[in-house]
Chains A and B, each alone.
Chain A
Amino acid sequence: MSISLFLEQVLNGLQFGVMLFLMSAGLTLVFGVMGLINLAHGSLYMIGAFAAAAIASWTGSFWLGLVASLMAAAIAGVIVEIVIIRRLYKRDHLDQVLATFALILLFSEAMRWIFGAFPLFLDVPEILSGTLSLPLGIEYSKYRMMIIVVGILIAVGLFSLISKTRLGVRIRAGESDREMIAALGVDISKLYTLVFALGAALAGLAGAMVGAIQSVEVGMGEPVLILAFVVIVIGGIGSIKGALVGAILVGLTDTLGRFLLPSFFKIFLNPSSATDIGSALSSMMIYILMAAVLIWKPSGLFGNNAK
């Protein structure tokens, strides 16, 4: 194994992690501020991807598709928040789980109803197709590079939004003390709608960006949803920083595990059983990571309060 192959895999892990961060940021914000477990977050990811595919094939422009994904997911988020989610904030976590589970069924079938049972087409734009030559002879996909850059920009944007703006002050206040923020005269229901829409838009954007290199199909959101939950739990629920660290950790563990474990077992096992054991173990890797983190730190890496 060469150094450049290893570095390329690190980049792949980073790209996967950054994508997971976009998904988990909204999830962790919504939980931190409103105390809501939203299983339907994966559906917003799917809606973003479908909107991007539909608009991109209609207008021929990938970039308009990206804009559409942000808007469609945000609009869907606002509607869902006002019609349903809003009634769940004061409820038990279990009611939230049931209602948002029902939303998954509803959204998935609605997409199938509208777009049919077959996957949709969404491709990367011409300008980003092909590879980039990096030092050490690494050929890396331009599009994946863009995902890394966009992800980092959004992470920076989110941090400054939360630490420097008035909206951020309110969000942080909402996380620590909900009564106080209402007493300050902040229109709390507007704030909630806004936070929910922001999280939804990020999920939709992630769906569109990933849809271009994977597939746009019904049910695409569920595996990602599980991973996003893994991420926010590892990072500590409610913490944006935790979501970022957790996402990168999960991305690297999964990618490097898939790549290194089979070769590792080949050192002392015959190739076919090494492939068997290595592949089986690598599919369990992130769950092992999560269990280990939680046994070591029961409320995640950056979680201060075990809710």
Chain B
Amino acid sequence: MRILLTALNMFWEEQKVKKLISMFALSAVIALPVFADDHKAKVGMITTLSGGGSGLGIDVRDGFLLALKGNNDIEVVIEDDQRKPDIAVQLADKMIQSEKVDILTGIIWSNLAMAVVPAAVNQGKIYLSPNAGPSALAGAGCHKNYFNVAWQNDNLHEAAGGYANSEGYKNSFIMAPNYPAGKDALTGYKRFYEGELAGEIYTKLGQKDYAAEIAQIRASGADSVFFFLPGGMGIGFMKQFAQSGIDLPVVGPAFSFDQGILQAVGAAAMGVKNTSQWSKDLDNDANVKFVADFQAEYGRLPSLYASQGYDTANLLASALKTTSVNDQDAFRKALKKADFASTRGSFSFDTNNHPIQDIYVREVIKEGDIFTNKIVATGLKDRSNAYVSECKM
């Protein structure tokens, strides 16, 4: 009980100190209105830092903070959502009510974004998505305060469909988990893919063993396989597929082939094609600097999530350079210009505040001891998304 009381005490003390500091800061602003820097902003980052899937949140956070190194205008408050939508909603309330942030960002998962974003933007906050672009927020549910700096969820799957056509695949077997993002994935693939389907399977969310599905692929007579199985699900599938001896070309979105996961898949992923808006070997100045800085700072190679966090921070910094977050109209205009050097090369926003960008096809290769990707083709050029016309902004 005593431990608990001291713990409680410390908690209150800490809160009090925080409170004092912010009051002090406030009085400083009031006292010196003339010199107050209008280009400052406070950002609330809600992302997944503990439990399963925390690798993605950590990458987004690290990329974001890397871009802001040496930038004293942007203050970042970071909280862990534990990948639970209800916790994310409560943290968003905290960020808005108690921390009084101007901008929110950080959410990894679509279902968490759907829980947080609509309420936040309706309360007049700007939300910059560094990952997750559910179709509902791109179409009828779009909002002038919501900017997606990653992709619309369907994009990478669409590019995989386009690539399947260019490779001449006529009979694909397609597979995704049985949840909304999984259905979007297969819809996205079918939007561009022109051939027949040898089979279409929805697997259990979180499933790790695909023996039954692989047997069906073998028996289906397919000429290619497309799958969307993010995280640990994809690791299991790739290893088991390589073991099965089935010799079919495999295409998937980058989510099962990012730098963090690839080492765990190992040789089983060699030669597999995957679609991504970013790759380590993209040859532009911003990207070369990003990859080098990231490695120097954190001692590991960046993933696409890290690049998205980095781009998000740079977009924000670019808008703050010329405008103030207090003048929302001007600030939104500045964001929409996307006047920053993206690690992806060309990057602009469509009318529904989602990116127009190239989606590449990468191949998994081995560099020394490390598995990584290199670009082998462009899947879709200047791709926007399928929901622009539904967005009335």
- Pair from one complex: yes
Which segment of A91-99, A157-165, A183-191, A276-284 sits at the interface?
A276-284
Measured in the bound complex, the distance between the Cα atoms of B202 and A217 in whole Å is: 23
Give the contacts of A196-246 with B (CB-CB under 8 A).
Answer: 210, 212-220, 223
Chain B: which residue is nearest A260 at the CB level? B212
- A61 contacts partner chain B, Cβ-Cβ < 8 Å: no
Query: Which residues of B in the span 200-257 have a Cβ within 8 Å of any Cβ on A?
Result: 200-206, 208-209, 211-213, 215-216, 218-219, 232, 235-236, 239-240, 242-245
Interface pair A215/B244, CB less than 8 Å apart: no
Interface string of A236-265 (1 = CB under 8 A from B): 000000000000000000011011001000
Chain B residues, CB < 8 A from A143: 243
Contact of B264 among A8, A118, A129, A275 (CB under 8 A): A118
Contact among B212, B244, B268 with A141 in the assembled complex (CB-CB below 8 Å) = B244
Contacts A118-B264, A280-B178 given; does A124 touch B211 at CB 8 Å = no
Contact indicator B232/A121 (Cβ below 8 Å) = no
- Does B260 sit at the interface, judged by CB under 8 A? yes
Q: Does A12 contact B (CB under 8 A)?
A: yes
Known: A109-B50, A121-B266. A259 touches B212 (CB 8 A): yes
Once the chains bind, are A258 and B264 in contact (CB under 8 Å)? no
Does A2 have its Cβ within 8 Å of any Cβ on chain B? yes
Any B CB within 8 A of the CB of A9: yes
How many chain A residues touch B (Cβ–Cβ < 8 Å)? 49
CB < 8 Å: which of A109, A214, A271 contacts B208? A214
Asked if A218 and B266 sit within 8 Å, CB to CB, the answer is no
**Option from A109, A118, A283 in Cβ contact (under 8 Å) with B55:** A118
Chain A proximity of B228: nearest CB distance (Å): 14
A224's closest neighbor in chain B, by CB? B208
A12 to B55, Cβ gap below 8 A? no
Q: Are B55 and A117 in contact (CB under 8 A)?
A: yes
Q: Is the CB of A123 within 8 A of B267?
A: yes
A119-B261, A223-B206 given; A214·B236 CB < 8 A: yes
Contact for A283 among B204, B232, B243, B266, CB less than 8 A: B204
Q: Which residue of A lies closest to B258 (CB)?
A: A118
Are B216 and A123 in contact, with the CB atoms below 8 A?
A: no
Q: Say if the beta carbon of B318 comes within 8 Å of chain A.
A: no
Interface residue B378 (Cβ < 8 Å from any Cβ of A):
no
Say if the beta carbon of B54 comes within 8 Å of chain A.
Answer: yes
User: Do residues A130 and B245 form an inter-chain contact, with CB atoms below 8 A?
Assistant: yes
Q: Are B232 and A217 in contact (CB under 8 A)?
A: yes
B263 at the interface (CB under 8 A from A): yes
A213 touches B245 (CB 8 A): no
Expressed in whole angstroms, the minimum distance between the Cβ of A235 and any Cβ of chain B is 21
B267: chain A residues at CB < 8 Å are 123
From residue 100 to 148 of chain A, which have CB atoms closer than 8 A to chain B?
Answer: 108-109, 112, 117-121, 123-124, 129-131, 139, 141, 143-144
What per-residue 1/0 map shows which CB atoms of B150-190 lie under 8 Å from chain A? 00000000000000000000000000001000000000000
* Binary flags per residue of A10-36, CB closer than 8 Å to B gives 1, else 0: 001101100000000000000000000
Are B264 and A216 interface neighbours, CB within 8 A? Answer: yes
Contacts of A84 in B (CB 8 A): none
Would B243 and A213 count as touching, CB distance under 8 A? yes
- Which residues of the partner chain A approach B261 to less than 8 Å between Cβ atoms? 118-119
Known: A12-B212, A275-B202. A215 touches B236 (CB 8 A): yes
Whether A215 pairs with B264 at a CB distance below 8 angstroms is: yes
A213 and B266 within 8 A (CB): no
Question: Are B232 and A119 touching (Cβ within 8 A)?
Answer: yes
Contact A214 B232, CB 8 Å, known A123-B239, A129-B243, A275-B201: yes
Give chain A residues whose Cβ lies under 8 Å from the Cβ of B58.
Answer: 117
Whether B216 contacts A275 by the Cβ 8 Å rule is: no
Give 1 or 0 for each of B32-66: 1 = CB within 8 Å of chain A CB.
00000000000000000011101100100000000
Cα distance A113–B189 when bound, in Å?
38
A182 CB–B CB distance under 8 Å: no
- Residue pair B206, A214 in contact (C-beta under 8 Å): no
Q: Are B236 and A213 in contact (CB under 8 A)?
A: yes
5 tightest A-B CB contacts, nearest first: A215-B235, A119-B264, A12-B211, A214-B236, A279-B202
A-B contacts, 30 listed (Cβ < 8 Å): A2-B219, A5-B216, A8-B215, A9-B212, A13-B212, A15-B211, A16-B211, A117-B55, A117-B58, A117-B260, A118-B260, A121-B264, A124-B239, A129-B243, A130-B243, A139-B218, A139-B245, A141-B240, A141-B244, A144-B243, A210-B208, A212-B239, A217-B235, A218-B51, A218-B52, A255-B211, A258-B204, A258-B212, A262-B201, A275-B200
